[in-house]
Each structure stands twice: as C-alpha cells, then as structure tokens.
Amino acid sequence: MSANRHITITEVALRDGSHAIAHQYTVEQVLQVAKALNDAGIPYIEVSHGDGLAGSSLQYGLSRTDEFELIEAAVSVCDQAKVAVLLLPGIGTVKELKQAHKLGAKLARIATHVTEADVSAQHLQYAKELGMETVGFLMMSHMAPVETLVEQAKLMESYGADTVYVVDSAGALLPHEVTARISALRDSLGVQIGFHGHNNLSLAMANTLAAIEAGATRIDGSVRCLGAGAGNTQTEVLIAVLDRMGISTGVDLYQIMDLAEDIVAPILQVPQEITRDSLVLGYAGVYSSFRLHAQRAAAKFGIDSRDILIELGKRKVVGGQEDMILDVAAEIAQARHASVK
C-alpha cells in the first residue's frame, strides 16, 4: 500500500452509536462529542437517529432527544468539521432532509438495501439541489454478488452520488470479499468509493484496510467502537494504524484517543465487545441493529436470542423488517412448545 495517500474519515458514533445506547443521546453529550471531534480534525461527523432521519419510532426505537436538536447542537460547535446525516428512503423523507440542511448539515448519506438503489434517486437528487455533498450507502453489501453491487452503485452515481459506499451492515464480509467489491467499484465508477464496517466477526479493521488497499478513499469509523452490534471500525485505532502506514487523515492522534477515553467511554452503557449475539450477527449475516431487538424478543418468549438471529439470517430479513423479529421469536417459541407436548 503506497504512502502519501489521504483517507477522509466520517465519524459515525453520533449516528450508528445511537444503536448501542438505545438512542438516548442528550444535547450535552452531542455538544461535547462533536466539539472534541471537530477539534481533533475529523472532517465529517454524522448525527441522526441510528436508523437515520425520522427513525425515532416504536419499531426502530424512540429517541430521548429530537434528532434535529442534536443536529443543531453539533453544527453549533463545528467550525471545521461538516455535519452529515443519514436517510433511509421510506423512513426519512425530503422534508426531514430539507430541515437538516436548514440547520446546517452539509453531507447527505442516502442508504438503501444493496439491491434497491433505485429508491434513492429522489433523495440524492434533492440533496444535490440543496447544495449538499452526497453519498450513496449500499447496506448489507454481503447479500449481493459483485456484479449486482456494481449495477446498483452505478445507479447511485447516475442519481448524483459524489461517493458510493460498500456497507457491511452485518459485519459479515471477509477481507477478500471486501477487496473484490471495492476493486469492482473502483474499476466501474468515476466517483469516490467508501467503506463502512462492523466488527461482529472481529474483522472491521482488517476489512477497512482491505478496502483502502483496493482503492477506497472515504472510510467510516466510530470512536470507542461505538455502533450497532459489536460496533464499527474503531476510529482512534484506525488513525494510529494509518499513521503507522504513512497514510494521512488530518486527525490528531492524541486528541482522538483522549476524546474516546474521556468523553465517549463514559457514555457507553456496556463496553463494546464481541458478545455471542453480536458474533452471531456476523456469522448469520444479520443487520447489526437487530441485536437488541432480538434480545428483547428472546426474553419475552423465553428462548435463545441466537436462534432468532440464525433464523432471521436464513430468511434474509433486512433493515426495515424489525417487525419480523417478534414474529420469528413467536414461531420458534410455538414450535418448541409443540415439541414438548
């Protein structure tokens, strides 16, 4: 891997990390984290509900604080970093996108399932009309062959995406699979390529380095690994590794280490680690934010959460189908009950 390269980091602890704390961020926490990230030199800070704009709901989890208050708070302390928002068409609408832009968000990341890029057209085009930078975010990228991924990425590029991301939402990809996907996009697109990893199989860093080796220049990280499942590629570790490799990020290593230790760590309800449930997410290829939902369903029906996650993987359930988790749990419990009669 050649030195003198530059990688642009987007910090996702204030969005993906929302899953890890059941969407309980306060304005004060966001002010503290965003200011420290800005001062450390992070160029993009994503802020929204874990499931994107308008995600606060009974289905996805209710936010403690209105996300627009959090976006406004982050913008108020960022004089260098740009605030980004995530939007999943069908959850968020152009109305929320317009409001986020009005509050000062500069980057719109439009996320779809890996085979459904066509639903991003309206939102990517509208974000461009607003003058925002745009990212196409292809989630659950392990669920489609490389050829399909390329087709979908080309659609996002045609709609106006400045960058297209390979998103390993389940933390299920292996390094050689990341290399194949990033290389194919690099060879097929004229826009920047990004990568967003999860650590459910302890491969977030390895996968991120594979992505960079293959040509990705936009990388997501999360301080203290704060994210859904076992978390994301850990930003402060990534900065250290890239520095060792002679790859620039513009981020101050000591400052990003200090904010992870002193500001973000106390926010965590439990340490981000690879538990049996988050491991199963990666093993079964299940959306990382399903972990807490599956644990609650398992407790309700008196069954093993791993059985729920494995079955969800077999059925290829994706983000947006959270209602299926209770259905699957009920079916498993009913089958167990019938077998013991």
Q: Hunting for tokens 């196409």 — which residue is that?
A: 136
CA-only gyration radius of the chain, Å: 19
Instruction: Tell me how many degrees the CA angle 312-270-30 measures, rounded to the nearest 5.
Output: 100
Instruction: List 222's β-bridge partners, or say none.
Output: 234
Under 8 Å between Cβ of 241 and 208: no
| Residues contacting residue 336 through CB under 8 Å, at least 6 positions apart | 303
Q: How far, in Å, CA of 67 to CA of 48, rounded? A: 6
Q: How far, in Å, CA of 228 to CA of 75, rounded? A: 24
Instruction: Tell me how many degrees the CA angle 227-232-236 measures, rounded to the nearest 5.
Output: 105
| Residues contacting residue 330 through CB under 8 Å, at least 6 positions apart | 301
Q: Does residue 19 carry a catalytic annotation?
A: yes
Q: How far, in Å, CA of 266 to CA of 216, rounded? A: 32
Under 8 Å between Cβ of 62 and 55: no
Q: Count of CB atoms within 10 A of residue 37's CB?
A: 30
Under 8 Å between Cβ of 107 and 135: yes
Task: Kindly name the residue from 19, 23, 49, 101 that is annotated as catalytic.
Answer: 19
Written as one letter, the residue type at 246 is G
CA–CA distances in Å: residue 207 to residues 39, 80, 201, 254: 28, 29, 10, 24
Would you name the residues annotated as active-site residues? 19
